[in-house]
A and B are shown apart, each in its own frame.
Chain A
Amino acid sequence: MKYVVRVEKKKNLVKVISDLGGEGVSKCIQCGSCMSVCPVTLIGFDHPNKKLFKFVQMGEEEVLLSDPSPWACVACGRCIEVCTQDVNPFSVYFALRRFQVKGFRIHPLAREAVGSIYESGHAIFVENEVEREKFGLPKVSSAARSEKDLEEIREILKSSAISDLGILPR
C-alpha cells in the first residue's frame, strides 16, 4: 500500500457541472476516444476533453475556471458520436463554459453576441435591405422587424440566469 497516494477531493464539482447540463461527466473513464477526433485537440490546446473531465472529477476548480479550451470548442459533435461511455463530452464542454460564466469569466465574443440578440434578435445583424432588394429578396420577417417578438426574446433573457451577469443592455 505504500505507493497509493490518496488525493483529497477538493470540491464536488461533478454535481455542479451536471446541473449546468454536463450530466455525463461522472461516466468518463479517460479512454481518449473523444480526443482522437477533436479539432480542439488537433490544434493543440492544453486541456482538451478528457483532461478537463478529470479535473472535474478531482474537483480542481481553479483550472476549470481559467482554462480557455472550452471556448475553443467548435461544436462539431464528433465526440458525441465516438464516446464509448455515452458521456456526451460536447455537453460537458458547454457546461464548463457556463461554469466559467458563473464565475464571471465570459468570453467577450459571447457577451457581444448575447447583447446583439437582446438588441436586434440576431447574433449578427446588418442593415442590408438595399442589397437584399437587388437579389429580389423580401424583407427579413424576424424579430428584428417586430417590437412584439423582440420583447419576447428580451423577456426570455431577462427571466434567465443571464440577467444576474449584468451584461444585458439597459
Chain B
Amino acid sequence: MKFGFFLGCQIPFLKPEVEASIRKVMSALGVELIDLEGYSCCPTWMSVPSLDLNAWLSISARNLAIAENLGVDVVTGCNNCFSVLNHARYLLKDEKRKFEVNRILSKFGKFYRGTSKVYHVIHVLSDFVDKKELKKKVVHPLKDLTVAIHPGCQLLWPTRIMDVKEENPFYPEKLKNLVEMLGAKAPYYSRLDYCCGAGTSVAYIDYEKSSYFVLTKLESMKEEIEPDLIVTPCSTCLIQIEEMQKKLKKDGKINFEIPVVYYTQLLAICMGIPANEVFREESAKIILEVIR
C-alpha cells in the first residue's frame, strides 16, 4: 500500500514528534509513505481561500497534481489540509473551474486531473489497514485507561466531500474504535463533537470566546467520564487544547490538567516504539506515567 504523504505546515514545523509517530506506525504496518516533492501550504483556510477562490483552487490543485504524477492517493495527518484539499477537489469537479485552474498550472507545465483521492491518517488505519494485522502489532495494550476522544470538526463534516466517511458524523465511530482496539475505554461524553475553538482564527478574533470552547469541552469530559488522556487526530486541536488548558489552569478556571496526545503517538507506544522517539522528553514522562 502506497500513499503520497502530505505533511502540511503545522506538523513538520511545530509538531515533528507527531510526524515521527505517523511515519513509524505506517512503516511498521507496511504502508509506504512517499514524500511529495515541492508541495506547499494546502493553503489553509485563513490564508488564500479567504482572499481569492481561483488562487486557492490553483494552489490546492498544484499540490494534488504532484501526487497524481506519482500515481498515488494522498494521506495527511492534518485535519485542516484534509478539509481544504477535499473541498478543492469537490469544487474542481466543475469543468469550468478545472479549466481555469489548468490554464494557470499549464504556465509551468503542471496539470490537474482529479485522480488522486485525499485521505486522513485515521482513514488509512480504520479502513485500509487489515484490522487483525493492526491488532497483532499492539504488543503493549492499555489497561484500565479511560480516553476522551476528540476527532476534530474537519475530519467529520461535510461528508459529501470525503471518500471515507462516518455513518453519522454527529456520533463518530472511527477514532473510538481505533482507541478501543488498543484496550482503552472511550466512552461518549456530551461535548464529544464540540469544536476546540481554534478553527481558522477564532482564537485571534476573540480569545474569550475561543477559550469558552475548550473550557466547556474539558468540564464536560471531566464531569461525565473522568478521562486519563485526551486523544485527537488533529494537530490544530492538539495545540489548541494543550495551550488553552494551561492558560485556563493558570487563570484558575480549572483545577486539573489532562494530557493530550495525537492518536498515532499513542498507537506507537502500544506497538512497542520507544516513547522518546514519538514524544518530547517532558511529554514522554507524563504519558508513560499515565498509561502505566
Contacts and interface: CB of A to CB of B under 8 A. Distances in A.
- Tell me if chain B binds chain A: yes
Interface of A: 20-21, 39-40, 42-45, 68, 71-78, 80-81, 90, 94, 97-98, 101, 106-107, 109-110, 113-114, 116-117, 121-126, 128, 131-132, 135-138, 140-143, 146, 148-153, 155-157, 159-162, 165
A143 B40 contact: yes
Contacts of A101: 50-52
B199 A73 contact: yes
A106 B9 CA distance: 22
Name the residue among A153, A155, A156 with the largest chain B CB count within 10 angstroms.
Answer: A156
Contacts of B201: 71-72, 107, 109-110
B19 A137 contact: yes
Given A44-B209, A72-B201, A106 B36 contact: no
Name the residue among B46, B195, B198 with the largest chain A CB count within 10 angstroms.
Answer: B46
B46 A98 contact: no
Contacts of A165: 51
B115 interface: no
B177 interface: no
A76 B13 contact: no
Given A76-B157, A107-B50, A142-B38, A122 B9 contact: yes
B108 A155 contact: yes
Given A81-B158, A122-B13, A156 B38 contact: no
A135 to B, nearest CB: 4
Interface string B223-266: 00000000000000000000000000000000000000000000
28 contacts: A21-B91, A39-B153, A40-B202, A42-B195, A43-B206, A43-B209, A44-B209, A72-B201, A72-B209, A75-B153, A76-B157, A98-B51, A114-B48, A117-B40, A123-B9, A123-B44, A123-B46, A124-B9, A128-B16, A137-B16, A140-B7, A143-B40, A149-B38, A149-B39, A149-B40, A151-B108, A153-B59, A159-B104
Interface string B1-42: 000000101101110110110010000000000011111110
Nearest to B34: A141
Rank and list the top 3 A-B pairs by shortest CB-CB distance, nearest first: A74-B199, A76-B153, A149-B38
A131 B16 contact: yes
A153 B110 CA distance: 12
B102 to A, nearest CB: 12
Contacts of A156: 55, 58-59, 62, 104
Given A152-B108, A157-B48, A39 B160 contact: no
A152 B62 CA distance: 9
A74 B108 contact: no
A165 B51 CA distance: 10
Interface of B: 7, 9-10, 12-14, 16-17, 19-20, 23, 35-41, 43-55, 58-59, 62, 80, 83, 91, 104, 107-108, 110, 153-154, 156-161, 169, 195, 197-202, 204-206, 209-210, 212-213, 277-278
B50 A77 contact: no
B38 A141 contact: yes
Contacts of B50: 71, 94, 97-98, 101, 107, 110
Q: Is the interface of B mostly helix, strand, loop or mixed?
A: helix
Given A110-B46, A153-B59, 7 more contacts: A39-B197, A43-B197, A75-B83, A98-B53, A109-B46, A116-B47, A142-B40
Contact of B169 (A81, A110, A123): A81
B202 A128 contact: no
B176 to A, nearest CB: 19
B59 to A, nearest CB: 6
A78 B157 contact: yes
Given A149-B40, A153-B40, A156-B59, A117 B209 contact: no
A113 B46 contact: yes
A78 B40 contact: no
Given A94-B49, A152-B108, A155-B107, A121 B41 contact: yes
A50 B104 CA distance: 35
B45 A75 contact: yes
A43 B212 contact: yes
A126 B13 contact: yes
